[in-house]
Structure 1
Amino acid sequence: MSTGPATPRRAILWRMVMPEHLCPFGLKSKWLLERKGYTVEDHHLTTRAETDAFMREEGVETTPQTFIGNERIGGYDALRAYFGHRVPKEGDTSYRPVVAIFAIAALMSLAVAWLVEGSPLVVGSLERFIAIAMVLLGLQKLQDVEGFSTMFLNYDLLARRFVPYGYLYPYAETAAGLLMLAGLLPWLSVPVALFVGTVGAVSVFKAVYVEQRELKCACVGGGSTVPLGFVSLTENLMMIAMALWIGLRAIA
C-alpha cells in the first residue's frame, strides 16, 4: 500500500477515520506534513478490518503511518523526529510544568494588581505571585494525592516518620496560599506555611546537597519529571519568606 510515485515534497499518509473514532495522531500527522510544505495523499482506514489488514501488510502495529519518498517514516512521533523535533521519552527531565506554573502565577498577579490598583507594578504583586504560585502548585498535587505522597516519601523527613503528612501536605499548601492571597487568618496561614516550608527545605537540602541523591521532585504532582533540587527548594523558601513577611507585617 505504500507504493506510488512519491516525491520528496509529497507524502502518503494512512490513518484511521471511522464513524466512532477519528485518530488524533493521524490528524496531527497530516497537519505537520502540510505545515512542512508537503502535499499529502491522505488514505482513510474506515473500518477495523481495513486497519488490521493494512497493519499486517505493512508489518506495523500502529497507525497512522507516513511514507515519504517511498520510505516508511512511521507514526506521529517518528514523523516529528524525522523533521528534527524533540520527541520526549518516558522519564525524560522536563521543567515545562514548573515554568508554566510560575509564569501563569506571575501573570495572574500582575492582572489582579492592574484590576484592583490600576497598575501591575506594585509591592503587593510579589506577595500575590507567591500566594498564587502556592495555590497552583498545591492544585497540581491535589490532582493525584496518592501519587504525590508516594513520590514525597522518597525524601521528605517528616512524611517518612508520619506517612499521613504526605497526604495532608497538598491541602496545607493550597489552604495557606488561599488565605495569604485573601489576606485572611494570618495566625493560621503563617505557621502552616512556615512549618511545611521549613520541613520541605531541610528535607530537600539533605537529600540533594548532603546525600547527593538523584530523585524526582514531587513539587508538581506524582507524575513529575522535574529533578529534585533547585525548584523544590525555591518553592519551600518562597513559603518561608512569605510566612515571615506576613508574620512581621502582622506584628508591626
Structure 2
Amino acid sequence: MTTTDIIDGPDTARAKSKGTEKTASLYRMAMPGHLCPFGLKSKSMLERKGYEVDDNLLTTREEVDAFQAAHDVKTTPIAFIDGEQIGGYTDLKKHFGYRVLGKDDTTYTPIIAIFGSTALMALAVVLNLYAGFPALTFLMWFFAISMVALAIQKLQDVEAFVNGFLGYDLLARRYVPYGYAYPFLELFAGVGMMALIGTGSALIWLVAPVGIFIGTIGAVSVIKAVYIEKRDLKCACVGGGSNVPLGVISLSENLIMAGMGIWMLGMWLSA
C-alpha cells in the first residue's frame, strides 16, 4: 500500500471491502516503535467471524495522519465491511453483537474471576492437605484466600480504592486514614486466618478481631448506603475504578470477614 492509496479516501477503502466473499478492509497502525494492539484484536475478530481481511498497515506517522485526514477519523484502526465503514475495535464489537461496557455500566466479571480463582485455590489446598473433603475447612480456606485476593486488588492503587471507599464507608468518612489502612487490615486478617486454620493457636485472638471489626463496619456501611438510603454506587471491593455495583457482593465480603472471625474464635473457645 502506498501513501496515495491511503489519501484516496473512504471510497477506495469501501470498494476494497466489497465482493462476493466475506471480505473486510482493515487499516491499522504498525510503526516500528508501536504496534497497535487494537488493530491486532480487530484483525483477529474479523478472521474469527470468517472474513478475509485486506490488512493495510500504516507504518509511519505521515501515513497515519494522511489516513485520518482522508477518512475524517481521529483514531485507528478502522474497518470496512461490505462497503460500510464500521470503525475501530469497539465499533466492531458492537457490530458483531458483543456487549461493550460504557463508563457507567456495571459488571460482575471481576468478582466472578476472583471468586472462581480463589475457590479453585482453596480446592487445591484442601485436596492436597486433608483426607477426604472437609466442606467446612474448604469454606474457611476459600474465604481466607478470597480476603487476600480482594486486598491485593485494593493495594494495586490505594488512592483509587480510598476514593471509592469514602463514598459509603461510615468510619472512613469520619476518619480518612482508616480508608488507607483498610486494605492492609484485610490482608492481615486474610493471611492470618490462612496461617491459623485448624491450629487452635491463641494467635487467633490477634487476627479474628480485625476481621470482625472491619467486616462489621463495612456491612453496616453497605446496608445504610444501599438498602436504607437507596444510593447507586460502585463497589470498591475490587479496588478503585471498578464497575462492580455496590450491594450484595460488598455486603457478602464484609459479612464473610466478620463471620470468619467469629467462627474462628468460636472454634478456639470450644476446643
Which TM bucket (shorter chain)?
A: over 0.9
Q: Which one of 167, 192, 204 corresponds to residue 222 of structure 2?
A: 204
**TM-score of the two chains, using structure 2 as the length reference:** 0.90
Q: Which residue of 1 aligns with 2:47?
A: 34
Does the aligned pair in 2 maintain the 1:111–1:120 contact within 8 Å?
no
The equivalent residue for 1:213 is 231
Which of structure 1's runs of 4+ aligned residues deviate more than 6 A?
A: none
1:111 Cα deviation after fit: 0.7
Greater shift in the superposed pair: 88-97 or 168-177: 88-97
Match of 2:15, SS state, is: coil
Q: Distance in 2 between matches of 1:206 and 1:80?
A: 38
* Cα separation, 2, equivalents of 1:41 and 1:118: 58
Task: Indicate yes or no: 2:77 matched with 1:64.
Answer: yes
Q: In 2, distance between residues paired with 1:67 and 1:123?
A: 56
2:94 paired residue number = 81
Q: 1:115 to 1:67 in 2, by over 3 A?
A: same
In structure 2, what residue type is equivalent to 1:199? I
Report if the CA contact (8 A) 2:14-2:85 is conserved.
no
Instruction: State the secondary structure of the residue aligned to 2:238.
Output: coil
Identity level (%): 55
For residues 115 and 63 of structure 1, what CA distance do their matches in structure 2 show? 50
The code of the aligned residue for 1:4 comes to A
CA distance in 1, matches of 2:243, 2:136: 33
Q: Could you say what secondary structure the match of 2:85 adopts?
A: strand
Q: Answer yes or no: is 1:230 the counterpart of 2:248.
A: yes
TM superposition shift of 1:3? 4.0
CA apart distance, 1:117: 2.1
Equivalent-residue separation in structure 2 for 1:165 and 1:98 (angstroms): 24
C-alpha distance in structure 2 between counterparts of 1:119 and 1:109, whole Å: 14
Question: Which residue of the partner structure matches residue 152 of structure 1?
Answer: 165
From 8, 15, 32, the counterpart of 1:4: 15
Contact 2:170 2:217 in 1 (8 A): yes
User: Residue deviations 1:159-195, cap 9 Å, x none?
Assistant: 1111110000100001100000011621111110000
**Against the structure 1 CA distance between its residues 187 and 34, is the aligned structure 2 distance closer, same or farther, given a 3 Å change threshold?**
same
TM-score, normalization by structure 1: 0.96
State whether residues 14 and 81 of structure 2, in contact with CA within 8 Å, keep that contact through their aligned partners in structure 1. no
Q: Which residue of 2 aligns with 1:46?
A: 59
Distance 1:99 1:89 in 2: 19
Gaps of 5+ in 1: none
Q: How far is the alpha carbon of 1:4 from its aligned partner?
A: 2.6
Question: RMSD over aligned Cα, in angstroms?
Answer: 1.3
